[in-house]
Structure 1
Amino acid sequence: MVEIKVDPEKCDGCGECIGVCPGEVYEIGEDGKSHPVRPEDCQECCSCVEACPNGAIWIDICE
């Protein structure tokens, strides 16, 4: 399984990652930030990393 991290300091909860993720990996939590709730569904496309306007998402295979 890939390692997905979202930096809560950078995430503003815009939801861009949710909109582009084909695996529906992300959800906005009660804190208003994006969280990878289904990392096992990650298709390793890196579109969330590219779409995040704040550079808040890091995936080990998307370096």
Structure 2
Amino acid sequence: MITSTLETVPGKAIREHLGIVQGSTVRAKHFGRDLMAGLKNIVGGELKGYTELLSEARDEAFERM
């Protein structure tokens, strides 16, 4: 199976379009990082620890597919 984000794949005939595929994983952060994220949430801004966690979870879900 070839997976692609393109409308067409050069040199290949598409027999079936399966639509969007997604995978999920659940992760937990360390208590200390949760506490710091909570404080950051009060003043606003990006929660970099959670951004990294989301990226790691997305990569793992993709690998599992």
Q: Which structure would you say has the larger Rg? A: 2
Q: From the two aligned structures, give the one with the greater helix fraction.
A: 2
TM-score by length of structure 2 reads 0.25
Q: From the two aligned structures, give the one with the greater strand fraction.
A: 1
